Amino acid sequence: MSERERYEYVPHRLLRCRVLDIASGTEGELMAVVNENVSDCAAYERWMHLAYVRAASGREFTTAVANIEPISRS
């Protein structure tokens, strides 16, 4: 396995905080940010930072890190 094939956990200021996925409108807790190869083809690699969010149902989903924003508590 090459150095680039490994997934990496990325630090993020919102880890373990309540966030909103603006793409889906779903709220949850940011569990991890991971640098992942999201390519569907072995001919090229496409790496991006994915946010793993745990929704109230307990199920986790992924979204682009750019899609998450903190939920303000009033």
Instruction: List the chain domain ranges.
Output: 3-70
Dihedral sign from CA coordinates of 24, 30, 33, 37: negative
Q: How many CA atoms are closer than 13 Å to the CA of 57, on its beta-carbon side?
A: 4
**74 residues of the chain, pLDDT tens digit each:** 455 556 889 999 999 999 999 999 999 999 999 999 888 887 888 889 999 999 999 999 999 999 999 998 65
Tokens of 54: 């745990």
Question: From 2.60.40, 1.20.120, 2.30.30, 3.30.1360, which CATH number describes the 3-70 domain?
Answer: 2.30.30
Q: Phi/psi of residue 47, each to 5°?
A: -100, 140
Phi, psi (rounded to 5 degrees) for 55: -75, 170
